Structure 1
Amino acid sequence: MAELAFAWPGLPDYAARCIRATIDRCGVPVSVIGTRPGVPIEGMEASLGQAIHWIHGEDGSLTWEKLGLAPPAVLIQGGYHLPAINALGRQCRAAGGKVVLASDQNWTGNMRQRFVDPLLVRKRIKTRFDALFIPGASAQRYYRHMFYPVERTVTGLYGSDPTLFNGGAPLMERPKTFLFVGQFIPRKNVVGLARAFIRFVVDHPDWTLRLCGSGEQRGEIPDHPQILIENFVQPPQLAEMLRKARCLVLPSIEEHWGLVVHEAALTGCALALTNVVGAGDDLARPQNAVLFPPRDEAAIERTLREIAAWDIPRWQTAERISRDLARGFGPTRFADAVDDLVHRLA
């Protein structure tokens, strides 16, 4: 395998663990460059197994030389919005290297995607990047609509570590808990979820809604004795929280993939997702999930009622399907995809 580098905005712990799998496999130097995540994560370099080159994303004057590195043969570049990372990508190509865009854009079929995005992709992506590294089926569909060559596209970008996210009691033995994990912002529609839950819980007083996150809308979430609000937690604590939940609820208005969906599936949770959550194409089936339209509180309430009415065999099936589908993503799949990319670009 040729020498590799990753440039990742807001480098998260799951990415460090996925890159670690690549480092362990390839046996050549792998440089990891990143901007710091919005929520500090403990032990990031321990997860990676080596030092990280932390950078300021707005530094458009950044060079490989300033980092003490030579341009790699292959750079996997996260997005194209940060000047510092764009600068490294340009320099890599100028030195004869290949640059792969890591992109999580998913297909929703709106007017912008149908008529504007094909022009932007042709201008910003096709001429600047040698290949695409994307999460899964929804992103594949998006880039097919953009007329991007299939042979230059590889899936497997996202995935949590099954050595961390695993286990949990059978769903029927867990507390009757719906869990939301994410930012408390309009795009996540957490306020709408809380309002729908309050109507639902009138007839289902034995259920609890647990909200884990932070954000500008925390003060707008209605008070209720069966709505528990907690701050973001570190990955090991999140894994334990998921093991104690029956169902993850993600009512997002927009969600390119949604890593927490994979984390939940690894721990056997059932899924309640809007039909615009990208990970739904990969991890949600009628046997383990209920999908509903975004921006619709009545649909959220109907979904909660439907799931609460499941019998024991249905919960057992949901857990089995979630765990089975989750095995298709994670560090091993990520390392396989990187290996595939490098061989295609050789």
Structure 2
Amino acid sequence: MKSKRVVILFSRLSDYMLNMFELWCSQENVSLTVLKKSPDKKEAPFEFNLSHKNIDFFDEDKLDRQEILDLVNLINPDIIICSGWSNSKYNAVISKHYANTKCILTMDNQWHGTLKQYLGTLYSRLFIVSRFDKIWVPGKPQKKFALKLGFKEKDIMEGWYVANESKFKSTRKKIRHEFIYAGRYVDYKGVNEMWEAFIKLQENEPNDWVLTCIGTGPLFEKRKKHPQIKHLGFLQPIDLQRYTEKGGVFVLPSHFEPWGVVVHEFALSGYPLIISESVGAASQFVSRNNGIIFKTKNEEDLYGAMKKIVNKTDEQLLEMGAFSQTLAGTISSNNWINNMNNLINS
């Protein structure tokens, strides 16, 4: 049987999406072409092995509009999956092919009800929805936006982002007194409030907990120094996995986070979670049974969440971590592959 040809017009490649592409192509008779942006060497210097017999990768920013159009024409795909609608080169591909090729839109934006978004919904109903057969989003916050854009409920799929289950699923039966942050060192990630909240906790209620921060970015040189705060710098996914095996409590204080696959990763690893209300993935992976959702940009609320965790017993924290793993199973690679196969076969 002739293999199905799929083109994915992507943004920046990540370990978890690469894992899904490779997993799918290893199981199905498909030929996949992925256009992507070149890696961000400053803030996210990921190193990927891009050798797979059924996947071809191209750096979108090294090709002009016509070269991309020629490439897609040559492939003559059965399906085109496009990340968002802000890339003019990708838009040109969709404009040329949507009439005769199944086109799927993906996005991770949350609905905030801003003027820009309201204008976007008008534009979408005129120029976007008619060009795509379906939209594939991470979860409920994005589904709400997709409905506003004019997509019908039957044409909205969830679970576009899936953490690498083989790397992060854990059977660990111990907890460490360690808060862990993994992300970029930038203002909108809320790292300054996190550092101050943790230092206040140590001043008001001295304890044996530490705060470990993993990542890099513009604020790394201005990082807060404290005897119980550790800064490990950027870790490749395999090294992050080795670290998560040790156990602790994950903290993500972002001011803005459309989804946040890192929440799924730490939930799979059996971590209790402290997540700001701005993180999209909190809607899927955080409940009162496994974590705390605190008010965005609110240092006092984050301090209170850390205090509650410190005052829990190790047994309580292990129970919370087990429930995190239960919620982590609500999005899976099997569901992703089933969605992709349904697109191909429908």
Letter in structure 2 aligned against 1:204? P
Matching residue of 1:235? 237
Letter in structure 2 aligned against 1:306? K
Matching residue of 2:130? 127
Matching residue of 1:24? 26
User: CA, structure 1 residues 223+256, in 2 after alignment: closer, same or farther (shift >3 Å)?
Assistant: same
| 1:186 equivalent in alignment to 2:190 | no
User: CA, structure 1 residues 250+123, in 2 after alignment: closer, same or farther (shift >3 Å)?
Assistant: farther
| 1:138 equivalent in alignment to 2:141 | yes
Aligned length: 340
RMSD across aligned positions (CA): 2.3
- Could you tell which deviates more after superposition, 254-263 or 158-167? 158-167
| Preserved CA contact (<8 Å) 2:33 2:55 | no
How far apart, in 1, do the equivalents of 2:117 and 2:83 lie?
24
* CA displacement 1:199-242 (0-9 Å, x = unmatched): 01221331111111111222333211111112221111111222
| 1:256 equivalent in alignment to 2:258 | yes
How far apart, in 2, do the equivalents of 1:112 and 1:271 lie?
33
* CA displacement 1:57-111 (0-9 Å, x = unmatched): 77333334347832312111112222332233333325x112111111123x444
With normalisation by structure 2, the TM-score equals 0.90
How far apart, in 2, do the equivalents of 1:176 and 1:74 lie?
48
Give the alignment partner of residue 333 of structure 1, picking from 312, 327, 335: 335
User: CA, structure 1 residues 294+12, in 2 after alignment: closer, same or farther (shift >3 Å)?
Assistant: same
Give the alignment partner of residue 74 of structure 1, picking from 79, 82, 90: 79
Where does structure 1 lack aligned partners over 5 or more consecutive residues? none
How far apart, in 1, do the equivalents of 2:255 and 2:62 lie?
27
- Could you tell which deviates more after superposition, 190-199 or 210-219? 210-219
Matching residue of 2:166? 163
User: CA, structure 1 residues 2+318, in 2 after alignment: closer, same or farther (shift >3 Å)?
Assistant: same
How far apart, in 2, do the equivalents of 1:259 and 1:34 lie?
19
Give the alignment partner of residue 217 of structure 1, picking from 219, 222, 229: 219
| Preserved CA contact (<8 Å) 1:33 1:53 | yes
SS in 1 for 2:167: coil
How far apart, in 1, do the equivalents of 2:320 and 2:16 lie?
25
| Preserved CA contact (<8 Å) 2:6 2:33 | yes
* CA displacement 1:137-190 (0-9 Å, x = unmatched): 2211222344421111111100111111122632xx332111111111121111
Q: CA deviation at 1:46?
A: 4.6
| Superposed counterparts of 1:1-346, under 5 Å | 2-38=4-40, 39-46=44-51, 50-56=55-61, 59-66=64-71, 69-93=74-98, 96-107=100-111, 109-112=112-115, 115-123=118-126, 125-167=128-170, 169-170=172-173, 173-202=174-203, 203-343=205-345, 346=346
Where does structure 2 lack aligned partners over 5 or more consecutive residues? none
| Preserved CA contact (<8 Å) 1:59 1:83 | no
Q: CA deviation at 1:9?
A: 1.1
User: CA, structure 1 residues 265+146, in 2 after alignment: closer, same or farther (shift >3 Å)?
Assistant: same
User: CA, structure 1 residues 114+60, in 2 after alignment: closer, same or farther (shift >3 Å)?
Assistant: closer
Q: CA deviation at 1:4?
A: 1.6
How far apart, in 2, do the equivalents of 1:245 and 1:306 lie?
18
| Preserved CA contact (<8 Å) 2:162 2:331 | yes
- Could you tell which deviates more after superposition, 270-279 or 55-64? 55-64
SS in 2 for 1:69: helix
| Preserved CA contact (<8 Å) 1:76 1:101 | yes
| Preserved CA contact (<8 Å) 1:18 1:332 | no
With normalisation by structure 1, the TM-score equals 0.90
How far apart, in 1, do the equivalents of 2:113 and 2:227 lie?
39
* CA displacement 1:302-338 (0-9 Å, x = unmatched): 0100111122442132111111121232432221121
Q: Which runs of 4+ in 1 moved over 3 A?
A: 46-51, 66-69, 109-117
